[in-house]
Amino acid sequence: MTATAILIGPDDDDLGDALESVGTSVTRVPGTGSKEQLQDANAPTADLLVVTDVTLATSIPIARELNDDLRVVVYSEDSIPEFARATAELIVDPALLAPETVAETLTDEL
């Protein structure tokens, strides 16, 4: 079974491409990650939510509401707000880990 991921925010580091290269199906969500956008991206059945812009962290509790089992990863050098920090399972600074390493680690754990 193919793992599915939703990517919210810019993908300047090509994490979406790295996830796809290891067999993960990636849906990129433009905009703010509203409930409607997350539903359209199949959040209720997705395996992974990747947020690359901490200003879009409000999408995390919305996604959790749609899918309690969703694995949440923040891939950003910026500080994540406290309310989102509690629900993110992994917070990664792109300066510390390359997107390929993150993609391999995430898919190994799904």
- Ordered by start, the domain boundaries in the chain are 4-105
43: exposed, middle or buried (Cβ count in 10 Å: 0-12, 13-18, 19+):
buried
pLDDT band at residue 86 using 50, 70 and 90 as cut-offs: confident
Q: Does the structural domain 4-105 have CATH classification 3.40.50.2300?
A: yes
- Please indicate, yes or no, whether the overall pTM of this predicted structure exceeds 0.85: yes
Element (H, E) at 28: strand 25-29
Which tens digit of pLDDT belongs to each residue from 14-69? 999 999 999 999 999 988 999 999 999 999 999 999 999 999 999 999 999 999 99
